[in-house]
Amino acid sequence: MIKLFKYALLLCLLQANLLLQAQVSILPHKATAGDTVTISFDPSKSAASQTEGPFFVDFNYSNFYEFPSRMPMQQEGGVWRVRFKLPPYANFSCFTIADKDKKFVQQESDSSQYEIYVYKKGKLIAGNYLGKSYSVPVQDKTSDHILATQEYYLKKELSLYPDNYEARLRLIVLQMKNAGPAQQGRLLNKGLAVVEKKFRSNPLFEGNLNKVTMGYLILGQNQKVDSIRQVVINEFPNKKIGISYRLNKLFREQDSTAVVAKIGQLLSLKTADNEAAYASAYEYLFTYYVQHGDSIQAKKYLPLITRWEQDPYKWRAYNQYVQLLLNHKLMLEEASKLNLYLLDSVAAYPVSLIRYFPETGYLVAHDPAKADKLAAVKAEIMANQGLIAAQLNQPEAARDWFAKSIPTLKSAVLLRSVAMQYQQWNDPNSALPVLEAAYRYAPFDPAIRQLLDKAILKNGMDNAAERQAYFSKLDKQWKQGYYQDFHKIIGNTPFPEDISIVDMDKKPLLKADLQDKIVIIDFWATWCKPCIASFPYLHQVYKKYADDPQVKFVILNSGSGNSWDDAYKWAKANPEFDFPFYYNQDKKLSSKLDITSIPTTLILDKKGNIRFRKVGFEGEKLLQSLDAMIEYLKELEK
């Protein structure tokens, strides 16, 4: 009877597997870099049979940096397909298939997603099982065996590629989590020996040293990053990498005059072999002399810092040089030429994350909003050209550049500068709409509000109530711009009922504390620099709503790499941030909420549903977008 049951169960599993294969296919079965991969989905053989589509492939873990994380599929008969060419650096990825709103999600099983492994001559290339180990928390968010499963795949990776440096270190870190203090010490020493061996394998190659740095960070030995750089300086002081590290260390000094003198000493060591290391020195000297108004010296270094190899970072640097010269009203002819060069090549300007790997070179991440961002950069370049022309006493040319840039210019700083230029020309009629635009993009900026207030007062609006109504109207205008996009991104996912969160008095946060409130939950950690960098902006929004009974802020230490003591000590040491701090005691909360990086901010409505999700550092953009989200949810509740 038992044998019969096992046979029936095996048959059911086999049939289920065949059904899944019929629903989704991935060809070729053993894809190699450069192959065109085809993913096909037949909704008629799945729970999506009543869904018309469209459908999308959602990469939940992938190193396809130049690809979108969500790929639209095309309908071919009754089957939906997407095709893409595997990049040369590709390895493991996992994905699901979903409809537009993710109300329907197709995956291989409840605990696994569809997967692509990458081969070469029929053999798995290095990194596939390493990637698989990274994907485990994404594929099976509620599993109680995540660490054990990750360890299993790391060992599989090392069985194929024993010299996989990153896999070796990741395995050691996993093993440390389940070890006692003595064993942890032995494992740490083992990991440090792996990093030391990596360092000694090629101590003069920057790509190798980047991996050494990564190794220390993986082991949680951040303090050793500076130590290893000092070792390089001590052992190879006049080599290219040694000079580079010496300069980076020198730039941390506060006395810029002393730094310039020491750069002069280092320049005496320049050779054909290490000359490339001095690019940062030339940039420092150029900036120093511009800031000190010495155009003769600055002109010596501008040619040296604008002859770089073709990498995507240079466009941002050139933009900074133009802004520096314009701010100090120095070398404006040179600034004009460099700015026009930027304008001619704006299509190459990087508007998303840049990664660099020795094996692949520079990789600019896919950005679905790239066209809009490039248009904004182009407008900024044209506005700068107008400001340069104005300084060169070319008012007609300046007005032409302003006219071209203003309709798409989104930089509040540049809009303010343009408006002030109009005011210098005694042209208040042109200045006022530009100031209004600046306010719409930066309503939290007190300087812009003050300028605009003075402008409308000068225009005869001297009644306080009338001026307040005027600003309320502008506030409504900029918020409407956000509201139009919110319907595309708003979600409706319930926040978990079972939370384990305490405040800085170790008092539990209850679901009842969140009821009937718009709740902003900001995930952070003391080691997360972007999280802390966002606090000044987050705090401004908090202060606006601190006395609003409809709004509650939960500044939540994620508990990742931090204890309650870490969160408590940081909050006490930084009293300028007086928003309410909390600590997450549920190690699975991030997985439940699909949080893979911090800072991440969740905005809940009064019914406890997650309506908006903000990921990553946004800087001052956070002020408006978060404020608009809060007001939008208030209006939805009316």
C-alpha closest to that of 437 among 365, 392, 379, 373: 379
- CATH number of 493-637, picked from 3.40.50.970, 3.40.50.880, 3.40.30.10, 3.40.640.10: 3.40.30.10
pLDDT tens readout for residues 188-222: 999 999 999 999 999 999 889 999 999 999 998 98
Letter for the amino acid at 432? Answer: L
What does the domain layout of the chain look like in residue ranges?
24-153, 180-233, 493-637
Q: Residue 85 to residues 30, 32, 353, 614: CA-CA distances in angstroms?
A: 14, 10, 21, 30
Distance between CA 328 and CA 346 in Å, rounded? 24
Distance between CA 518 and CA 514 in Å, rounded? 8
C-alpha closest to that of 449 among 476, 398, 480, 412: 412
pLDDT tens readout for residues 361-374: 888 888 888 899 99
Contacts of 313 by beta carbon, 8 Å cutoff, 6+ apart: 350, 354, 362
Q: What is the DSSP string of 7-50?
A: HHHHHHHHHHHHHHHHHEEEESTTEETTPEEEEEE-GGGSTTTT
- The count of other CB atoms within 10 Å of the CB of residue 373 is 15
The token pair that represents 571 in the structure block? 């909050």
The crossing angle, in degrees rounded to 10, of helices 412-424 and 395-405 is 150
Q: Does domain 24-153 have CATH number 1.10.150.80?
A: no
Q: Residue 385 to residues 318, 327, 342, 448: CA-CA distances in angstroms?
A: 13, 13, 11, 22
Q: What is the DSSP string of 94-126?
A: EEEEEETTSSSEE-SBTTB-EEE-EEETTEEPT
Highest mean pLDDT among 102-106, 115-119, 544-548: 115-119
Residue that is written with structure tokens 């073709």 in the block:
310
pLDDT confidence of residue 2: 42
pLDDT confidence of residue 265: 95
pLDDT tens readout for residues 478-491: 888 888 888 888 88
pLDDT tens readout for residues 150-201: 999 999 999 999 999 999 999 999 999 889 999 999 999 999 999 999 999 9
pLDDT confidence of residue 15: 44
C-alpha closest to that of 444 among 474, 399, 414: 474
Mean per-residue pLDDT of the chain: 90
CA 10 to chain centre: 46
Contacts of 318 by beta carbon, 8 Å cutoff, 6+ apart: 306, 338, 341, 342
Fold: same for 24-153 and 493-637: no
Q: What is the DSSP string of 557-625?
A: E--SS--HHHHHHHHHH-TT--SPEEEE--TTHHHHTT--SSSEEEEE-TTSEEEEEEES--TTHHHHH
The token pair that represents 371 in the structure block? 């066209």
C-alpha closest to that of 510 among 557, 552, 572, 561: 552
Q: Tell me the whole-structure pTM to 2 decimals.
A: 0.80
pLDDT confidence of residue 627: 93
pLDDT confidence of residue 12: 43
363: part of which helix (H) or strand (E)?
A: strand 361-364
